[in-house]
Chains A and B, each alone.
Chain A
Amino acid sequence: MEKNSILKLTDVTKRFGGLLAVDALNIDVKEHSIHSLIGPNGAGKTTTVNLITGVLPVTSGTVEFMGQNVTGKKTYEIARLGIGRTFQNIKVFQTMTLLENIMVGGNQLTKMGLVRTILDFKGAAGEEKMLREKAESLLDKLGMYHLRNEYMKNLPYGRQKISEIARAMMTDPKLILLDEPAAGLNPSERAELVKVIQQSFEEGFTFFLIEHNMDVVMNLSDDITVLSFGKKIAAGTPAQIRDNDEVITAYLGSAFVKNKEQEGAE
């Protein structure tokens, strides 16, 4: 059965002055799938994520999330609609504990304003309890409950990366955008990350993954879109992408492919 589309980019274009960073990009991310966006450095992958999340305005084209046009909406409005995100360069709250980091993610689920928080003891305590329990259960699932009171700056890089995913999950998202989650991780941390993504996927999350590590991409993805110089050069299943000449050329260069062909002929 054909899955519904959760995120749809139609002819999305982004120009920075004379530079065409994303060129009429069309992507269709299906509900409950892991869709990867790959491409060489400077291909426009992070720009695409920034366009989806409203960090950058699109030059032309539309971004639809669950059938709703979100083009031009503010970042926090898009997040509230159900898009969570992690960052290429890790963005955590270093001076706060792991638990506090995750609880910030759930803030938008609470309702009480500043004055009511001061005056309504019971209501404020109830909200705090709800946030704490939700964050603790999330950390428990991710195997980090025992680290909840550790300051973020004291945690290893891999744990910090996973905590970003947990913070995104705390917002109750339908779709999570992961921007190079495996970058800078050692093999054991990478294996843990893959486990976390797989486990979360099984729980019903949809992922849009930007990643350079091909093992991670090929093992996890249902669909892959390949970008080169802002243009989509291929899209398909991991098997289709693996054998695509244009993708190999974009990643390894035409000289490499030519040499390889010559070696094959000899």
Chain B
Amino acid sequence: MNNMKNNKNMKNALKWAVVLAVVLCLPNIIRNDYWMVVFVRVLINIVLVLGLNLITGLIGQMNLGSAGIYALGAYSSALFVKNTGLSPWLGLLVAVVTGIVIGLVLGYPSLRLKGVYFSLTTIGFTQVVQIFLNNMTKVTGGSQGLKSIAPFSIFGFQFDSYIKSYYLYVAFVLIAIFCAVRIVNSKWGRLYRSLRDNSDAVEMSGINIADVKVKAFIAAAIFGTVAGAMYAHFYGYISPSTYTVDISMNFVLMLLVGGLGSVSGAMFGAVIVTILPELLRGLGNYYLITFYIIIFLGILFFPNGWVEAASRPIKKIIAKRKKEESASGEK
């Protein structure tokens, strides 16, 4: 039994090591600025979607407020750094604090609102954020946005090129994956899934649902605001027009494509939904419609996500092999 578990852990570690090796080698394989920008965007999206997965994937509440969270993360960090001249790392800390506040603001309505009512509230949140950013011209720069946002730096070493930023953001993503895996595979992940299935039974097990949900929203919002800060310090320019409800929908699409509730699904979904439109650009005016048709069919035929669909035949082979092994053992 222990040997089987060790084998499984080894295989998992090997799989992740191969993925990491590919990710680290990517800038040397694809020497192209355009694709480097796309890859950095993938990394930023992975961080955000890992957070969204806690709320929409595990607890099952359709959060369409990701764009608002993303925007506030970007603006809080950028404004702090621009106004104080201090390090973007402190800006990142401000983004984390912003995430805690957003988590509280969005977490409490989630206790009273369910289904479509909650989704509408989160859409409203994004709209309010966008209107606020557009109209507080003196603070936010209005529709002109904020320019010349400093990139991250360590002891004078500036992450001011695409490749340098890429490697820094790989480190960010690794930390985000670590946190997400620890949450999803712990008693908290189990609790979130049980809340999705039946909150009455959870409460009768002595669990303070309000506390659990608000903490989940805080965690998710921190992932979102950190992603926002990553965006601001990579591009050096942010404006309210980036943070529309459309991109909130895209983040949900990433989850649906990868598979709700799983960390690898969230990551895979972020990769597909960010890269696929770029690969289809050759189709000219038809690239977006082709992209959405592929996504629509993908969700229709693989409702549990593409990762689960791809791993199904492998799981079948493993199950068959196990059955054969146990049969031969009995003989």
A binding-site residues for B, Cβ under 8 Å: 53, 55, 74-76, 79-80, 84-85, 87, 91-96, 100-101, 103-105, 107-108, 110, 112-114, 117-118, 124, 127-128, 131, 164, 167-168, 170-171
Please report which residues of chain B, range 136-177, place their CB below 8 angstroms from some CB of chain A when the two chains form the complex: none
Q: In the docked arrangement, what's the CA distance between A80 and B211, Å?
A: 15
The answer to whether B331 has its CB under 8 Å from any CB of chain A is no
A95–B193 contact, CB under 8 A?
yes
Contacts of A107 in B (CB 8 A): 187, 190-191, 205-207
A87–B203 contact, CB under 8 A?
no
A118–B183 contact, CB under 8 A?
yes
The answer to whether B309 has its CB under 8 Å from any CB of chain A is no
Q: In the docked arrangement, what's the CA distance between A104 and B205, Å?
A: 7
Contacts of A168 in B (CB 8 A): 204-205
Stretch at the interface among B73-81, B194-202, B291-299: B194-202
How distant is A110 from chain B, measured CB to nearest CB, in Å? 6
Which one, B183, B194, B204, B207, contacts A114 given CB within 8 A? B183
Per the CB 8 Å criterion, the residue count for chain B at the interface is: 26
B207–A108 contact, CB under 8 A?
yes
Closest 4 CB pairs of A and B: A108-B206, A79-B206, A93-B197, A91-B201
B binding-site residues for A, Cβ under 8 Å: 178-179, 182-183, 186-188, 190-191, 193-194, 196-198, 200-209, 215, 219
Contacts of B204 in A (CB 8 A): 53, 75-76, 79, 84-85, 87, 168
B206–A171 contact, CB under 8 A?
yes
Contacts of A167 in B (CB 8 A): 201, 205
Contacts of B219 in A (CB 8 A): 114
Contacts of A112 in B (CB 8 A): 187
A104–B202 contact, CB under 8 A?
yes
Contacts of A94 in B (CB 8 A): 197
B200–A105 contact, CB under 8 A?
no
Q: Which B residue's beta carbon lies closest to that of A112?
A: B187
Q: In the docked arrangement, what's the CA distance between A249 and B206, Å?
A: 40
Q: Which A residue's beta carbon lies closest to that of B205?
A: A105
A128–B186 contact, CB under 8 A?
yes
B197–A92 contact, CB under 8 A?
yes
Contacts of A101 in B (CB 8 A): 194
Q: Which B residue's beta carbon lies closest to that of A118?
A: B182
Q: In the docked arrangement, what's the CA distance between A30 and B19, Å?
A: 61
Can you report 25 residue pairs joining A to B where beta carbons are below 8 Å apart?
A55-B200, A75-B203, A75-B204, A84-B204, A87-B201, A91-B198, A91-B201, A92-B197, A93-B201, A103-B187, A104-B190, A104-B194, A104-B201, A107-B187, A118-B178, A118-B179, A118-B183, A124-B186, A124-B187, A127-B187, A128-B187, A164-B201, A168-B204, A171-B205, A171-B206
